[in-house]
């Protein structure tokens, strides 16, 4: 989820950002990212990151948690978590600096390198998405997020079905028969009206064609 940096580091998530993430966090993995990070000084970036994470925590928004297993050091996972939200700089321009090709942005005060971890967190984000945690992201989506979504949907359907059955079972049998009879008659009435409408349209179409043919014969005569 990309948060656009602002001119003031005191700014944080907009109400729309918060509501959007609340609607998504039960369905997808959320990795917060600050875009256009080169518009902030290093100090402003640190402060803006802290404000964003504080808003995420205060609003109980669930973001992707870096796993720790026998192959990962706990300290490494904590370091990655501490980097959130990733502050990134984007550029499709290749710069030639002292004979070295770099992807970045040229400014009067210097160069913001996309793939320099001292300038932005693009390297960390890229490694997370396509190298170190791609499989875990897919597993969490399939085994946790999708299964929770599926269970909630099935529970809602089952609840509606049970409520309907309980309501029916509490009715007097004669009253239930009358209700079903009226529903059946209403369905028949609607079907009849639909068939009559179709027939009427077909007759109207046929009459229109006949009138057109008569007009053509008169013109030929």
Q: How many other CB atoms are there within 10 angstroms of residue 167's CB atom?
A: 10
DSSP result, 134-158: HHHHHHHIIIIIHHHHHHHHHHHHH
pLDDT of res. 126: 92
pLDDT per position as a tens digit, 125-158: 999 899 889 999 999 999 999 888 888 888 777 7
**Whole-angstrom distance, CA of residue 15 vs CA of residue 29:** 20
**Whole-angstrom distance, CA of residue 143 vs CA of residue 75:** 26
pLDDT per position as a tens digit, 22-68: 999 999 999 999 998 988 888 999 999 999 999 999 999 999 988 86
Q: Strand, coil or helix: what is 97?
A: strand
Q: How many other CB atoms are there within 10 angstroms of residue 40's CB atom?
A: 20
Number of Cα atoms under 13 Å in the Cβ half of residue 164: 6
Non-local CB neighbours of 92 within 8 Å, separated by 6+ positions? 103
Before 9, cis peptide (omega within 30)?
no
What the block records as the tokens of 151 is: 């269970």
In this prediction, residue 10 has a pLDDT band, given cuts at 50, 70 and 90, of low
Task: Give me the chain's average pLDDT, please.
Answer: 83
**Whole-angstrom distance, CA of residue 106 vs CA of residue 94:** 10
Instruction: Report the predicted TM-score, pTM, of the whole model to 2 decimal places.
Output: 0.64
pLDDT per position as a tens digit, 165-197: 555 555 566 666 677 778 888 888 888 888 888
- The H-or-E segment that residue 106 falls in is strand 100-107
Q: Strand, coil or helix: what is 12?
A: coil
Average pLDDT over residues 89-100: 89
pLDDT of res. 54: 93
Closest CA to 114 of 83, 80, 87, 82: 87
pLDDT of res. 168: 54
Average pLDDT over residues 115-130: 92
- The H-or-E segment that residue 86 falls in is strand 86-87
pLDDT of res. 121: 94
């Amino acid at each position: 989820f990309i948060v656009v940096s602002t001119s003031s580091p005191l700014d944080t998530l907009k109400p729309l950002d918060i509501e959007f993430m609340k609607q998504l966090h039960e369905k997808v993995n959320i990795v917060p990212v600050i875009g256009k990070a080169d518009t902030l000084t290093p100090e402003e970036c640190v402060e803006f990151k802290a404000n964003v994470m504080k808003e995420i925590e205060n609003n109980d928004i669930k973001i992707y948690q870096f796993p720790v297993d026998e192959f990962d050091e706990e300290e490494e996972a904590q370091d990655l978590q501490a980097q959130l939200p990733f502050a990134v700089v984007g550029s499709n321009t290749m710069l030639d600096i002292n004979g070295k090709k770099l992807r970045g942005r040229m400014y009067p005060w210097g160069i913001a390198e996309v793939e320099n971890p001292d300038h932005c967190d693009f390297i960390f984000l890229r490694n997370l998405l396509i190298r170190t945690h791609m499989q875990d992201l897919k597993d969490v989506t399939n085994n946790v997020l999708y299964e929770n979504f599926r269970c909630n949907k099935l529970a809602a359907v089952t609840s509606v079905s049970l409520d309907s059955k309980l309501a029916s079972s509490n009715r007097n049998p004669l009253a239930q028969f009358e209700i079903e009879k009226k529903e059946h008659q209403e369905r028949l009435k609607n079907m009849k009206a639909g068939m009559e409408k179709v027939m009427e349209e077909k007759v109207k179409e046929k009459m229109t064609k006949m009138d057109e043919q008569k007009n053509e014969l008169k013109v030929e005569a």
